[in-house]
Structure 1
Amino acid sequence: MRILELDSGNTRLKWRLRDAGDITSRGVIDNDSDVQGEVSDVLKQLAPVRQARLAIVSGQERLEMLCQVIEVQSGIPLSVVKVSDGQLGLSLAYTTIGVDRWLAMLAAHHSSAEKYKEKTKLVVSCGTAMTVDVVSGEGVHQGGFIVPGLQLMKKALSTSTAQLELIEATASEITPGWNSADCINNGVLAMVSAMINAQVDRYPEAIVCLTGGDGELLSRFVGGEWEYRPELVMDGIALAFD
């Protein structure tokens, strides 16, 4: 069956097509673009799509728009992922958790490399917000953290201070900067790296499972063992329907 999986986040919508279990195509749509038009174009290019599955944290208005273009206009059955405590042996610390965090934990717990199966997972999603969740080797969620991501921290500095500009460039070092731009870039990178590494120190036996737009960048500054899984949330979508 040809199934379209969609992960609608706060910055972009990611999609991939699963055909008879194999991933045959994928793409990204920025939230600032004509999302409705681009999703419609993707559905036409991928036709026939028999089913769509959606994980969404980007609000009710975006959900209604996606339902309109996928179900109403294209006639494709759409299933919206809901958090389910205890599914596939993952026990949550609280049930009001965001669906993206739940799916990332589900995928990290069930589909990591074999040598990491019994290890504690530090599931780190590095997007608009950065989240860190701790999952024991037995599948027990032991709580987590939510903080602004790299770009959001830089935006906060530019909007809340009179003399600091928004720095668009990607940070690359955690050494002291020699100008304001580098001080901001290196500073926010040092902050989020230190937060992750504080949990690495607390759980020295853990494997860090990194995902999100800044995950690959942060992998350079994470101590201990780690794996970078750019599609962790969508891997969780597939598991949620098993």
Structure 2
Amino acid sequence: MQALKRTYLIDIGNSALKWAEATTPQNTGVITYGDMVMLAEQVRDFYRHQRPELIYACTVAHSVIASTVQQVCERTRIELLGSQREFNGAFHVVNRYDDYTKLGPDRWYAALGAVSKHPDENLLIVQMGTALTADSIICRGEGEYEYLGGRIAPGPTMMFKSLQQGTARLHVPSGTYQTFPQNSSDGISTGITDCVRGFISGGLEAVGEAAKPKLVITGGAAHYYEKAFERYFPGYLIEDNLVITGLSLRIRSENEE
């Protein structure tokens, strides 16, 4: 544990950055930003207060975002961690992606984080960020898992923005889910919710009813859809910080070797 002192884990997204000290990954901080100036200021503040000596980062954000973080923390070694062919730690996960180096690392580490919280279960892990993803994990035996890959679609915010940018008469604020929407705002929100619901249902069907997968949802937009999830996916779970948890699992396993 001493080897991880002043070591930090960072999950860099397109609109938020989550961080935690490697020794206490359950205690996370969040930096939100709307532009690179705001990001640089927030990261500079983090750097000044935390004084990291080593950072392990996971990112699928735009390269400008990652480079901004690296420039601000130029005196600290930053290691960008990608996906793995397999994970050998507290449990074993084999990655079945065609080319594991092309798998978004946020999806891989979120999967590891979910497995650690739900041992010996089949899982569908849904991330609701800029992209909407649904990844399948099958338990093959005690402590043995396969990551089977998953679906990718535009996230709810991207769906909403694409309608605003691509149409002439749908520049309206977001609304609420209605059985029979009677204005454009509610119509868009209801339609996007239905898209998300169908996307998740497809992932659950792919894993198979007999497998009884547990649905685990994470990401910035997840809490916005809680009422719809409660209605259509009883027993689902919303869990935050799965990527940080997964990064911690990898770092700890490698430090124990």
Bucket of the pairwise TM-score, normalised by the shorter protein: 0.7 to 0.9
Structure 1 counterpart of 2:14, which letter?
N
Using the TM superposition, name which of 151-160 and 24-33 deviates more: 24-33
Structure 1 counterpart of 2:218, which letter?
T
Taking a change above 3 Å as real, the CA distance of residues 187 and 101 of structure 1, as seen in their structure-2 partners, is same
- Give a deviation string over 1:111-149, Cα, whole Å, max 9, x none: 224xxx222110100011100011102321222111011
Structure 2 residue runs without a partner (length 5+): 253-257
1:209 corresponds to: 216
Structure 2 counterpart of 1:76, which letter?
T
Which whole-Å CA distance do the structure 2 matches of 1:25 and 1:157 have between them?
Answer: 34
2:225 corresponds to: 218
Which whole-Å CA distance do the structure 2 matches of 1:240 and 1:142 have between them?
Answer: 19
- Name the count of aligned residue pairs: 231
2:255 corresponds to: none
Structure 1 residue runs without a partner (length 5+): none
2:16–2:30: 8 Å Cα contact kept in structure 1? no
Q: TM-score, normalised by structure 2?
A: 0.82
Structure 2 counterpart of 1:85, which letter?
R
1:152 corresponds to: 158
Question: How much does 1:190 deviate?
Answer: 1.5
Taking a change above 3 Å as real, the CA distance of residues 29 and 84 of structure 1, as seen in their structure-2 partners, is same
CA RMSD of aligned residues (A): 2.0
Give the structure, 1 or 2, with the largest relative contact order (CA under 8 Å, sep 6 or more).
2
2:137–2:147: 8 Å Cα contact kept in structure 1? yes
Aligned with residue 54 of structure 1, among 54, 57, 69? 57
Which whole-Å CA distance do the structure 2 matches of 1:241 and 1:93 have between them?
Answer: 22
2:95 corresponds to: 92
1:105 corresponds to: 111
Q: TM-score, normalised by structure 1?
A: 0.86
Residue 23 of structure 2 corresponds to residue 13 of structure 1: no
Question: How much does 1:63 deviate?
Answer: 2.5
Structure 1 counterpart of 2:238, which letter?
Y
Structure 2 counterpart of 1:105, which letter?
A
Residue 85 of structure 2 corresponds to residue 82 of structure 1: no
Which whole-Å CA distance do the structure 2 matches of 1:159 and 1:24 have between them?
Answer: 38
2:135–2:151: 8 Å Cα contact kept in structure 1? yes
- Give a deviation string over 1:97-122, Cα, whole Å, max 9, x none: 1111111111112x224xxx222110
Aligned with residue 38 of structure 1, among 42, 49, 53? 42
Tell me the secondary structure at the aligned position of residue 139 of structure 2.
coil
Which whole-Å CA distance do the structure 2 matches of 1:208 and 1:218 have between them?
Answer: 14
The residue correspondences of 1:162-241 to structure 2 (distance < 5 A) are 162-167=168-173, 169=174, 172-202=176-206, 203-204=208-209, 205-222=212-229, 223-241=233-251
Residue 69 of structure 2 corresponds to residue 66 of structure 1: yes
Taking a change above 3 Å as real, the CA distance of residues 69 and 229 of structure 1, as seen in their structure-2 partners, is same
